């Protein structure tokens, strides 16, 4: 291609807070001098909602009415019609990240049924006889780590109490009595350090296998997203796995404390969020796997917030 575009922003991590300034350059590379009808830059942010195939029949009206929720939309002409010389031309730009009237900005989030996406896109219009050239760059929006909301989040994290647990065949939920006969006798005890967590810091805790009547194949932790989309006609709630972490492999020694340490992935997790049309929540599943593909699981609802400080102060040790 005789003309290529690239977008570079001033922040290498591409993370911006609502109200902050996004600045950078558009790099135009031309093999030879090239006439154009203008170079535009667009800042766009939206929420994309969808329901799973199994829910379409239940909420047909909602499925038909799903439209992206526009959060921010800014367009600017950064270069008027003219000619770019051969070689590299850098065109500076600057935008302030502000929402549309009546909207607010949410954190970037890549889910299955809810997606919150922000991007910069540039287009070079080249006239009727040449194809236009486009380039897009995703930016990451995070809630500010200072101010009243962040201070409240930090207070919630610090006040959150440990979550002890004791798992036996009798304490398992949503299991038929007939199925309990196939579950070996076992006792697993442990503790999560808290149930309200800062999304930038790990989930920590420990567990211990006190006894088990059979061999253990594996112990795993699943981070699960619970996404709810809805309207006046009803709500569709779907759970899906974000990541799976093995914390013990094989028949673990009894009465040995096993640490729990889970890092929340950026953009695939975000602070717990509830709006009129969608919700994003998270859970942790503790899964113990036995021979012959038998397993048991224990569910822990958690709440994620953003309460980090600008200096990266740890909210807990």
- What does the domain layout of the chain look like in residue ranges? 3-141, 148-305
CA distance 278 to 305: 17
Instruction: Name the β-bridge partners of 143.
Output: none
Report the pLDDT averaged over residues 121-129. 87
Query: From the CA atom positions of the chain, what is the Rg in Å?
Result: 25
pLDDT 10s digits, 59-118: 555 554 567 899 999 999 999 999 999 999 999 999 999 999 999 999 999 999 999 999
Helix, strand, coil % in the chain, rounded to nearest 5: 10, 55, 40
Over 50: is that where the pLDDT of 309 sits? no
- Look at domain 3-141 and name its CATH class: mainly beta
pLDDT 10s digits, 141-156: 998 767 777 888 889 9
Cα-Cα-Cα-Cα dihedral of 219, 298, 193, 301, to 10°?
A: 130
Q: How far is CA 28 from CA 32, 89, 139, in A?
A: 11, 5, 20
| Residues comprising the chain, all counted | 317
pLDDT 10s digits, 274-295: 998 899 999 999 999 999 888 8
Helix (H, G, I), strand (E, B) or coil at 143: coil
Topology at the third CATH level for domain 148-305 = Immunoglobulin-like (2.60.40)
Flag the least confident range among 64-68, 171-175, 257-261.
64-68
What is the structure's pLDDT at 54?
60
């Amino acid at each position: 291609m005789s003309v290529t575009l690239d977008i570079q922003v001033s922040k290498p991590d591409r993370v911006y807070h609502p109200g902050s300034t996004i600045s950078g350059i558009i790099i135009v590379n031309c093999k030879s001098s090239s006439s154009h009808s203008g170079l535009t830059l667009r800042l766009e942010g939206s929420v994309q909602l969808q329901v799973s195939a199994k829910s379409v029949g239940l909420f047909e009206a909602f499925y038909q009415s799903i439209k992206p929720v526009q959060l921010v939309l800014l367009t600017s002409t950064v270069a008027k019609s003219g000619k770019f010389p051969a070689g590299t031309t850098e065109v500076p730009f600057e935008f302030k990240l502000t929402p549309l009237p009546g909207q607010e900005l949410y954190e970037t989030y890549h889910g299955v049924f809810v997606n919150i996406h922000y991007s910069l896109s540039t287009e070079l219009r080249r006239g009727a006889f040449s194809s236009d050239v486009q380039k897009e760059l995703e930016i990451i929006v995070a809630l500010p780590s200072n101010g009243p909301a962040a201070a409240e989040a930090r207070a919630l994290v610090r006040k959150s109490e440990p979550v002890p647990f004791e798992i036996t065949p009798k304490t398992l939920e949503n299991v038929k009595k007939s199925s309990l006969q196939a579950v070996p006798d076992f006792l697993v005890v442990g503790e999560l350090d808290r149930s309200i967590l800062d999304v930038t810091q790990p989930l920590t805790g420990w567990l211990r296998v006190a006894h088990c009547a059979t061999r253990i194949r594996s112990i795993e932790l699943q981070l699960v997203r619970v996404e709810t989309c809805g309207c006046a006609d009803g709500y569709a709630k779907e759970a899906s796995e974000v990541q799976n972490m093995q914390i013990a492999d094989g028949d673990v020694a009894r009465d040995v404390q096993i640490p729990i340490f889970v890092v929340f992935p950026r953009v695939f997790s975000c602070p717990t969020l509830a709006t009129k049309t969608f919700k994003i929540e998270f859970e942790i599943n503790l899964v113990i796997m036995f021979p012959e593909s038998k397993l048991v699981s224990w569910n822990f609802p958690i709440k994620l917030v953003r309460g980090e400080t600008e200096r990266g102060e740890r909210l807990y040790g």
